[in-house]
Structures are given as structure tokens and as C-alpha cells.
Amino acid sequence: MDQDDAGVGPASGPVAVGVRFRPAGKIYEFDPGPLILRRDDRVLVETERGPELGTIAVTARALSKPRVLQRVIKKADARDLGREDQNFQRERESYRSALEHVRGSGLPMKLVKAERTFDGTKTTFYFFAEDRVDFRELARTLAQSLGTRVEMKQIGARDEAKVAGGLGVCGRELCCSSWLREFEAVTVKMVKEQGLALNQSKLAGQCGRLKCCMRYEYQTYLELKRGLPAPGSHVECVKGDGVIVRQNILKRTVVVRRAEDGIEVEASLDDLVTRRADA
């Protein structure tokens, strides 16, 4: 059985387990104490904002250097999970209430999600806005209405998609909300290197930015393009000399427009006799 699935008992030296609080969220280290924990176990842990429920993402690993970690209080029991369900219901109610207040305030913001602490003492509202928003009066109103402390947290467009979730055009759950932990830069250059048309409607994800998947095969395309003559290059070819009009990157071939008759032919690298600089 894989060690991650089997769990690891107390070790002679300091160890830590990795706990995640939401799907595709960041993994935080905690001290498991004497507990033997398996991957996907639900646990109650100490955090800066009080006890919180999380899920074991990484089983016990030895620490290279001793350091102080917040602890795993216990494995979650039926009562804890029931309280979590109650919090989910309260979050939905809080979101609906806050949405009415936001609409009434006229503030230029889009409410994305409400998140309640495990002990129910604080509710965090995530919202998207193009510019800075003065939400102080709204926060006071919500705190009085909900009977909890309220935090308003402004997030960016990509974070909005991660928090809200949804389905991509591929039919699968969004990468950012299902497994992608960190956002990395995605550039127009990556799109061009893969020979894709710069069609914003097809290249943009739910967040309105370039899709994260545009990055996944970028390095593979760079490797496949290595050695292929660029479009516009003049070549001598066994199928007829001419100029490269486009590359077929995945096939590692090029299309040559023959100088003698203007016909386009597909050629492999072996078909190219010599290459010379543009005329």
C-alpha cells in the first residue's frame, strides 16, 4: 500500500502533515501529535482565526529542521461534520443577505462567495471589483445583520474563478478550482508558439484572462519546433525549392510553396536539402 494512503504513525523526530481547506487550495503544515492520519481524513486544526476543518492532503513527513507548527486537534467526528453542514447553510443565507445589501448600496462590486469560520464568529465575503471600493459602511451593516464579525476581501479576476468554480468549455471542472494550486503567467507568446489563432473568445477562460491550459503544452511545442525552419525561410527541397509558408509543429513538418509553380507541398526535415537566408 502506498505510504500516503496508509498513513504514518508518530516518528522519532518532528513531523508535519499537509492540510488543505478547500479543493485546489494551498496546503498548510500542521503538527499531527500522536494521531495516525491518512490522506483525505477530515481533521480539526488550530489556525490563527480559530479551529477550522480541513482535509489531509499530505501524510506525515519528517521535518528537515524543527519548527513550531500549529497542531491538529483531532480527527473530525460526526458532530464536527454536522456543524460544517450547518455552516454551509449559513454561508448561503449570508451570501443572499449580503447580495441584497450590495445591490442596495450601489457599490461597484461583484459578490463572489461567503465563508464562515468553523466556530461561527466571523464571516468573510470575497468580492471582485475593478477598482478599490470603500466597503466600510457595508461591512458594519452586514456585521449587525448577521451577528458575526465581517471581513471583506477583494480578489482578482483569476481568483474569482477559483473561488466560484464552474465548468470550462472542455466540459471539465475549472483547473483552478479543482487541482491547480498556484496561478502562473500565461502570455500571448505562448499562444503564438503553439500556432493558435489569437481569438480572444476562444482563448479566454471564465475569468476573462488567457486560459491556464495555454501553458500546459508550451514547453512541448518549443521542443517540437526546435530545428524547424521559420515561415518565410527559403529552402532547397527534394520536392521543389521554395519558401516555408507554415509549420506543422506536432508532425514536425513544414509546408513549402514551390517557386516553380506556386504549389504547396508538405516536407519533412529530411526532405530539406539546404536552407538559406531570406532573399
What pLDDT score was predicted for residue 276?
Answer: 52
In three state form, how does the secondary structure of 131-191 look?
CCCCCHHHHHHHHHHHCCEEEEEEECHHHHHHHHCCECCCCCECHHHHCCCCCCCCCHHHH
**Stretch 140-156: mean pLDDT:** 93
Stretch (H or E) spanning 55: strand 50-62
Using the predicted structure, report yes or no on whether residue 88 has a pLDDT greater than 60.
yes
Q: Is 222 helix (H, G, I), strand (E, B) or coil?
A: helix
Q: Is 274 helix (H, G, I), strand (E, B) or coil?
A: strand
pLDDT above 70 as % of the chain: 94
Express each pLDDT in 217-253 by its tens digit.
Answer: 999 999 999 889 999 999 999 999 999 999 999 999 9
Using the predicted structure, report yes or no on whether residue 162 has a pLDDT greater than 80.
yes
**Stretch 58-84: mean pLDDT:** 94
Pair 168, 175: CB distance under 8 Å? yes
DSSP 70: P
What pLDDT score was predicted for residue 190?
Answer: 92
What pLDDT score was predicted for residue 3?
Answer: 42
What pLDDT score was predicted for residue 259?
Answer: 93
pLDDT band at 4 (very low <50, low <70, confident <90, very high): very low
The residue written with cell numbers 508538405 in the block is 266
Using the predicted structure, report yes or no on whether residue 23 has a pLDDT greater than 90.
no
